[in-house]
Structure 1
Amino acid sequence: MPGAMATAVMKKLLLIVSFLALPGFQLLAQDEPAHTYPITGKLEDSDKKPVPFANVALLAARDSALIGGGTADENGLFNIPAEPGSYLLKITFLAMDEKIVPNIRVAAQPVALGTITLTSNARVLEELVVQGEKSQMDLQLDKRVFNVGKDLANIGGNASDILNNMPSVTVDVEGNVALRGSGNVRILIDGKQSGMVGLNPAEALRQIPADLIESVEIITNPSSRYDAEGEVGILNIVMKKNIRYGLNGTFTGTAGYPSNFGASFNVNYRRKKVNLIANYGWMYRDGPGRGHSRQEYNSADTSFVYEQTNRRNRAGYSNNVRVGLDYFLNNYNTITATLSYRRSQNDNKSQLEYRDFDMNNLLTRTVTRTENETEPRTNIEAAFNYVKTFERKGQSLTFDAKYILSDETEASRFREVANNNSVDIRQRSYNTEDEKNFLAQLDYIHPFGKDGKVEAGLKTSIRLLDNDFSVHQEQESNYWVILPDFDNRLAYDEKIHAAYLMASNQFGKVFVQAGLRGEYSDILTELKKTGETNHRRYFNLFPSIHLSYKLQDAQTLQLSYSYRLSRPSFRDLLPFSNFSDSRVFRAGNPLLNPEFTHSFEAGHLINMEKGTLLSSIYYRRRLGVVENITSVDSTGFTTITPINLATGDSYGFEFNLTYDPAPWWKLTANANIFRAMNEGYYNDRLYSSDTYSWTSRLSSRVTLFGSVDFQTSFNYRAPRRTTQGKDLSIYFIDLGLSKDILKGRGTLTASVRDLLNSQKRRSITENAGYYSYSVFQWRPRQFLLTFSYRLNRSKEKQNFEKGGEMGDEE
């Protein structure tokens, strides 16, 4: 099946590439002058060694306008075609002084310049080692970029671990991601929606090795160029990509306890106009988890008390493969095509023990329920990108297309028995989820004046989901019947068409960016077996505005506003989730409507000699808030269902600090302090909450003996009230030790996650005579050892290139 899908995807990809590449080849043919003559030469350094892959720009002698150019080959030879005329050459290369060759006259014959000597730039070479390290946090107008490689707590982990270490981001024990206390956050891969996140983001993020991730962008007030989806903002995971010349790469291996093994590589090979990329990540994890809870129910008709103890084990492997190429048609046209494949297989086991008590708190019986689940997942993703730049700096045209196929099957077998032989139940459940996704996007940027630009774009996204869920119960030996209350098929068809227009400009110390995005949504939800349908069509306009004012050289004030929405996730619409717990059932709601949010934010950035401080205040007004409501019937069966409440308001203060007390000591600290208020009616009952809470992280990294890094980090999440109870506090400590070996080409890292074994979710639920207290821990304390090796590049050189110097070679 995956092989057939891959073949079909490749055929479609090749068709798209062939169709879209044609204009680029025509442009290339049109740009080639009718009569040209070669300008040739050889580049050497002061030691008479060739200088490969340097940039050679051909400029007009009259006004220094760029006419053409190229790149020297591996032997330092270059060949630049030119029409008859007067020129000069500008030669640039990393760690070399810029070289100008004047007075080049092209008549009706080739021009041979011979050997040109380039000299080393001592200042650049010094910075290559001393100032080459990339900052862990990069602050931009509408986002914060966190470079995850320098955080030792991320090494050897996965995408979920990385997000859990981001400021203002929390990941609960089940893997659900929240930003500034809200779970309505949009997760993107390389700025686009991706099948790598999949139908179940919480589980999918655990399958992406951290070694393949370059950075994470936190966008709390996205501009109009981004989708309006995501009430609280966007988390964009940027995957590693390398376009250096020659063969380069990084290889990483990880071993840990409890069982956590992984291996990955990220390589590229670039020669002349072609850059080939390939990365692969394999990971195996065996994660034990455990917890307990107590439920009490009292009413006029009945009452009950039971305690539950559960043990779970999530074991499985994942394979992530990505191959692609960049083809540089000429200096202005580039085509990129990639194909990604992910295959994972989980084998999960759980055991739940229920202890029932009477009114005198005497144990009456014990019931044990076991589950064995297999969970294979497959994702295939083909992407195409075409970028055209122009002679005018900043002007560009970009086209993106992506096709995604995903399928997932959850097959479980259950057995429930009682110690007094009153219960002996055998059940099985099947949950298949298939997704097809296609998106196409066109973006254009046109600069004007000195600092202004206009941006416009179109996007179409089509998403087709099919879910078939059923629960079977054995009546007699090998005779199974379907339970009618747990049998249906959900079809979810989503079509979203969008367009945006945005402009920005700088007026003295003030920078202004404003935009407007329009989205038309056509969403059909249909329960096939019961004939229930919900067809929604709506059009919305989403404005955004960002202002930046430079108070002085070291201080900047930022203001922003955006209007956004959060559509219900597939899991929220799904009538059935799983049947692991026969007494607590999480059901979706096919009638859910989207949330809409007005978001305001003001920020103040201070650049200090030894660090930066970004402080922000924000306010969000939410309409149609989605809350999970817990209801309990007289038999003790608990149902948790998401519904749309009326309104929600939240405001808070946030700060991010980076500070280097000494050259060998780096500190980072962040905190988010907020108040959240929700209120609405459901079944003629008022549900409300008013909570003050906060999250924080403090990290310290010291460099010992010049090559050993030691990092400690502390995370804390304060208690938080909900509409039906309270989430209690969580805290955990991570440690990491890293040493460079093999002359900077290798790095060995040892780390401990959750040193005190304290990362446990604790919650209280109270509702009309019902009380529940629960504690659960998905993963205990983790020990990891990781080794990384860099092929054809040392650590210092790699860090320098990440700092932005690669632009000369692209």
Structure 2
Amino acid sequence: MIVTFQVFSPPITKNTLHYMKRIIILILLFCSVITAKAQFGGGSTLTGKISGTVIDSVTKKPVQYASIAIYLSQGKAPINGVLTDEKGSFKLYSIKPGSYRITITFIGGYKTKTINPVVTTPSKLDNNMGNIILSPDNKVLNEVQITGKGPLIENHIDKLVYNAEKDITNTGGNASDVLQKVPLVAVDINGNVSLRGDANVRVLINGKPSGAMSASLSDVLKTIPADQIKSIEVITSPSAKYDAEGSAGIINIITKQKNVSGVSGSVSGGIGTRQNNGNFNLNYNKNRLSIAANIGGNLTWPQESITNFAQTFADTAKQGYTRNSTIKRYGTISSVTAAYDFNNYNNISSTFRYNRGGFDVNGTSNNYYTDSNTPTLDQAYTNGTAQHNLFDGFDWSVDYTHKFKKEGHEIDFSGQWSHSIVNTNYTNLYTPEALPNQRGINDGTNNEYTFTVDYTLPINKVFKFEAGGKTIIRRLNSIYDVFGGADLNTVDEVNTNTYDYNQNVYAGYSVFTITLPKSYTLLVGARYESTDITGDPSNSLQDLQQFSNSYPIFIPSFTIQKQLGTTQTFKLSYSKRITRPSLTYLNPFINKQNIQAQTEGNPELSPEISQTVELNYNTFIKSSVINFSVYYKHINNLIEGIATPLPASDSIQGTLTDYRNIGSNNSWGASFYGSINPIKILTIRGSANAYTYNPVPSGDFAADQSASGTYVQYNIFGMAELDLKHDIVAQVFTIENSPRRTIQGTNPSFSLLGFGVRKQFMNKKASLGLNVLQPFNKYKYFDQNISSPGFTQTSSTAFPFRSIGLTFSYSFGKLTFSNPKQKDNNDDEKQGDQGIGGAGGSR
């Protein structure tokens, strides 16, 4: 853990020491509270463990990833649970003396087995159950060979789970690469994430927001090694328990935080022509104390791209350029988590996660300008650009859980402090000086404080009640300095500015889960959220006023599920969501970093309000899994960027893009996921999502609509896996995402083809692999088209995607897997902007 911070911590500055002092003071205060708690209430009790090994009754081999749940002998709700490891073994810790019931399940493969009673006593705290024989379920999976390998995709009542650690082609990549393979999710060339075509999605890490992600989501995702990711949860219809932000839903990245016996860990990574990755995990668990540390990072080789850009104004003036750019990127992310069980009723855990990354862009473009009405204004010039970007920050969270004597009755308290900075420095030089040379420095700072309480009460076998409250306090600041003149040291007082933005969110919720007769389950809830914002723009030459606004909203949620036998499930759900415009969308300063493509925020924006109705069907058919959904979504106050021509000045024209509530959108969609095993060694998986874009612009925005009608957009993913002899696995996958429309045109499509093969050694503790992406084409082309009254714009970027890499991994120690506890989330800002900075925050 010491190595983690020595290697990846930034240079110690006054600001760093300031925050370190804060952390030390908070830790001391927190420890004093916990010490008092231990002394004056909730003293420790004697506990032991229950262990065993699950064996296949036919093959006599260990059953991996079987679910182990422990109940009181006469109890209805599970007390705890784990998954069996690669040797079929499990261990349940912190077990008080008593009589228990143990159930072993493997969905879709084996019959559930129950053992009752399993007894521990004060004189014999540990109970080793020995070998537990599990029989295949012939009714469910006739003629299916069980290999002990867990499913890649799981369907739950409230979410879809993609088990990333079971996909060999993820090794050596980053979180953006992994998200591309998740059903219903799409990632574009810039790393922007969308869920079922909607970019207003919240991305969490272990159920919690990250301040770094709110600052620069696409960049942070590229810093997370794929080897750190255990699974990814997709929640398309969140209940009232979740924050209401994000019209598309929630994506939750679960990292490999495991409970282990003794000391264990793993090291993995990859070396390739596109990027290099490394990741190290270390886990320690003894009795009531568990500690997990993780460190990882990546470094890309310089990547050269070519962009062709063209604009036409009033059918007479034309300008454009051909740009050659080189980008270099790096990133690190590390974390330490500690948890302690005071007794069976009180638990505390804390996580500190540090993130640092950046990228440099250098480019040269050959520009032209022509005007058929005034040929004397025609000219050509070059533009040299240099840009350095840095993002840095941490998230520190503390969670305390108190369990009452009644099973499932508990209260959780959680607090988190997220701190992040985003710095952008750039220089633009023109030869000859057709446009003013410019140098800019943009420093953005974000501090976010979250306080949450969640209460759960199982009233009886039929009713479960949940309630809670939450407060989020955000304080953001942007300082943007612009310089010009011959030496680029003269302050540009027109464009230099500062901007302070404050946001407070207050929320409360209640949810009822009702178990009805005939295998029906009802989940109904309500949430109320109130958002208060203030913005204070400041510039010595501009008369900009402070602004404020508030967004109160009532959010109902409803889900009803019907279970048909053991293999089929129907689910109908309704959800309402809000997408609040964040700092960049509200910043009134004009960003003139690119004089020909300027951007401006709008303090008068209203939040988007969406309502979604979804019908879902899931089934197991022998060795196959099928999941199918149809849904309808209506969005009011749809937010889009509208580009309009700037007045011509000195023979140079351009566009200004500002954010507006352009109207509403009605969307129908359908999604599908399937997995089959046509032969023993082959698994084929595929997912598809298709949806409509049918905006109804209001007022003046009807004139900005380049085309009318209903447009069908889609995301498709397919994979085939061969499980060969001698622990060799091979995979091939393909991704196809259609262009995304706005009322002014289309954004680029995306497609990808990849191959991977992996050989495991040392009883599957070590592996070597080979991954190949886009083998038949060096470049991928990303095209964009925009048109509106007064101008048209096209661009095409050729980006190098072909790559080949070697991957490796090694695990040591004995692991007992457990599912990380999921907490409430912050998902409460529109995530379309990629920076917290001011007018110069564009990258």
Shorter-chain TM-score tier: 0.7 to 0.9
Q: Does 1:437 align with 2:448?
A: yes
Deviations for 1:170-227, whole angstroms, at most 9, x for unmatched residues? 2121221111111111112211221241312122211222221211111111101100
CA–CA distance in structure 1, aligned partners of residues 134 and 664 of structure 2: 58
Residue aligning to 2:788: 767
Query: What's the offset of the Cα at 1:448?
Result: 2.4
Q: How does 1:654-803 map to 2 (within 5 A)?
A: 654-681=671-698, 683=700, 685-688=702-705, 689=708, 690-727=710-747, 729-755=749-775, 756-757=777-778, 759-793=780-814, 801-802=816-817
AA in 2 matched with 1:136: L
Residue aligning to 2:57: none
CA–CA distance in structure 1, aligned partners of residues 410 and 348 of structure 2: 14
SS of equivalent to 1:200: helix
Among 533, 536, 540, the residue aligned to 2:546: 533
Deviations for 1:393-446, whole angstroms, at most 9, x for unmatched residues? 22221111001111121111221113xxx6475320011110110001010111
Q: Is the 2:729–2:758 Cα contact (8 Å) retained in structure 1?
A: yes
CA–CA distance in structure 2, aligned partners of residues 64 and 423 of structure 1: 78
Residue aligning to 2:277: 262
Q: Does 1:150 align with 2:182?
A: no
What residue ranges of structure 1 are gaps of 5+ in the alignment? 33-37, 46-54, 70-75, 105-110
Q: Is the 1:314–1:348 Cα contact (8 Å) retained in structure 2?
A: yes
Q: Does 1:191 align with 2:207?
A: yes
Q: Does 1:253 align with 2:238?
A: no
AA in 1 matched with 2:332: N
Q: Is the 1:90–1:98 Cα contact (8 Å) retained in structure 2?
A: yes
**CA separation of 1:287 and 1:180: change in aligned 2, threshold 3 A:** farther
**CA separation of 1:26 and 1:173: change in aligned 2, threshold 3 A:** same
TM-score, structure 1 normalization: 0.85
Q: Is the 2:662–2:698 Cα contact (8 Å) retained in structure 1?
A: yes
CA–CA distance in structure 2, aligned partners of residues 560 and 276 of structure 1: 39
Query: What's the offset of the Cα at 1:350?
Result: 2.4
CA–CA distance in structure 2, aligned partners of residues 337 and 294 of structure 1: 49
SS of equivalent to 2:242: coil
Query: What's the offset of the Cα at 1:670?
Result: 0.9
Q: Does 1:178 align with 2:188?
A: no
**CA separation of 1:505 and 1:93: change in aligned 2, threshold 3 A:** closer
Among 446, 453, 465, the residue aligned to 2:457: 446
Query: What's the offset of the Cα at 1:461?
Result: 0.4
Deviations for 1:220-253, whole angstroms, at most 9, x for unmatched residues? 1110110000011111111220111100111112
AA in 2 matched with 1:617: V
Query: What's the offset of the Cα at 1:588?
Result: 2.6
SS of equivalent to 1:350: strand
Which range is displaced more, 202-211 or 599-608? 202-211
Q: Does 1:28 align with 2:49?
A: no
Among 473, 498, 509, the residue aligned to 2:507: 498
Q: Is the 1:262–1:281 Cα contact (8 Å) retained in structure 2?
A: yes
Q: Does 1:164 align with 2:193?
A: no
Query: What's the offset of the Cα at 1:579?
Result: 5.1
Query: What's the offset of the Cα at 1:274?
Result: 0.9
Query: What's the offset of the Cα at 1:580?
Result: 5.1
**CA separation of 1:223 and 1:577: change in aligned 2, threshold 3 A:** farther
Q: Does 1:515 align with 2:517?
A: no
Which range is displaced more, 452-461 or 625-634? 625-634
**CA separation of 1:264 and 1:183: change in aligned 2, threshold 3 A:** same
Query: What's the offset of the Cα at 1:763?
Result: 1.4
Residue aligning to 1:51: none
Among 313, 328, 334, the residue aligned to 1:321: 334
AA in 2 matched with 1:406: S
SS of equivalent to 1:241: coil
AA in 2 matched with 1:472: F
Which range is displaced more, 380-389 or 423-432? 423-432
Among 642, 652, 670, the residue aligned to 2:659: 642
SS of equivalent to 1:760: strand
CA–CA distance in structure 2, aligned partners of residues 358 and 64 of structure 1: 82
Query: What's the offset of the Cα at 1:360?
Result: 10
Q: Is the 1:132–1:803 Cα contact (8 Å) retained in structure 2?
A: no
Among 472, 481, 500, the residue aligned to 1:461: 472
Which range is displaced more, 6-15 or 334-343? 6-15
Query: What's the offset of the Cα at 1:13?
Result: 3.9
Q: Is the 1:97–1:121 Cα contact (8 Å) retained in structure 2?
A: no
Residue aligning to 1:603: 616
AA in 1 matched with 2:483: H
Q: Is the 1:610–1:660 Cα contact (8 Å) retained in structure 2?
A: yes
Q: Does 1:405 align with 2:426?
A: no
**CA separation of 1:646 and 1:113: change in aligned 2, threshold 3 A:** closer
CA–CA distance in structure 2, aligned partners of residues 287 and 103 of structure 1: 60
Query: What's the offset of the Cα at 1:365?
Result: 3.5
SS of equivalent to 1:532: coil
**CA separation of 1:516 and 1:125: change in aligned 2, threshold 3 A:** closer
Deviations for 1:519-547, whole angstroms, at most 9, x for unmatched residues? 11111122122442221123211000001
Give the % identical residues: 24
CA–CA distance in structure 2, aligned partners of residues 675 and 3 of structure 1: 52
CA–CA distance in structure 2, aligned partners of residues 805 and 133 of structure 1: 20
TM-score, structure 2 normalization: 0.82
Q: Number of aligned residue pairs: give it.
A: 757
SS of equivalent to 1:391: coil
Q: Is the 2:588–2:600 Cα contact (8 Å) retained in structure 1?
A: yes
Query: What's the offset of the Cα at 1:713?
Result: 1.1
SS of equivalent to 1:28: coil
The root-mean-square deviation of aligned C-alpha atoms, in Å, is 3.8
AA in 1 matched with 2:659: P
**CA separation of 1:368 and 1:186: change in aligned 2, threshold 3 A:** same
AA in 2 matched with 1:176: N
What residue ranges of structure 2 are gaps of 5+ in the alignment? 1-14, 54-67, 81-90, 107-112, 138-144, 823-843
Q: Does 1:572 align with 2:585?
A: yes
AA in 1 matched with 2:711: T
SS of equivalent to 1:650: strand
Q: Is the 1:732–1:758 Cα contact (8 Å) retained in structure 2?
A: no
AA in 2 matched with 1:612: V
Which range is displaced more, 338-347 or 139-148? 338-347
AA in 1 matched with 2:246: G
